[in-house]
Amino acid sequence: MIENSLETTDIFRGAYYLCRGGELSGIRFRRNGKRIASFLITGRGLDKLDKQYRDGQALVNPLQFRESLNHLRDILFEKLREQDDLASSRLGKIGEGK
């Protein structure tokens, strides 16, 4: 199988990929009126897994799915806190005239 990568804003789809052997390679943020997170997933056979997911044929262990979902949430909120802390420190420097 070929290793490839996918990007999704769907946290449930991302958790499915992780359950099936994908790895989280990053999270990107963009603004479109609100902050939107994209999960970057890499692994073998992601194209086949994506088709199974879209066709309603995706099967996973529910406990593993919950753990993968919680893992993505933890990392997402950690990254959001980092961004908020960075933005706050920049605003503080601007307010101090630096």
pLDDT digits (tens, 9 = 90+) for 62-97: 999 999 999 999 999 999 998 888 777 766 666 565
**Domains of the chain by residue range:** 3-95
The answer to whether 49 and 7 have CB atoms below 8 angstroms apart is: no
Q: Rounded to whole angstroms, how far apart are CA atoms 28 and 6?
A: 12
Whether the full predicted model's pTM is greater than 0.85, yes or no, is no
* pLDDT band per the 50, 70, 90 thresholds, residue 4: very high
What is the structure's pLDDT at 75? 96
Closest to 23 measured CA to CA, from 36, 31, 11, 14: 14
Torsion of CA 36, 68, 78, 40, to 10 degrees: -50
What is the structure's pLDDT at 85? 82
User: Average pLDDT in the 28-39 region?
Assistant: 90
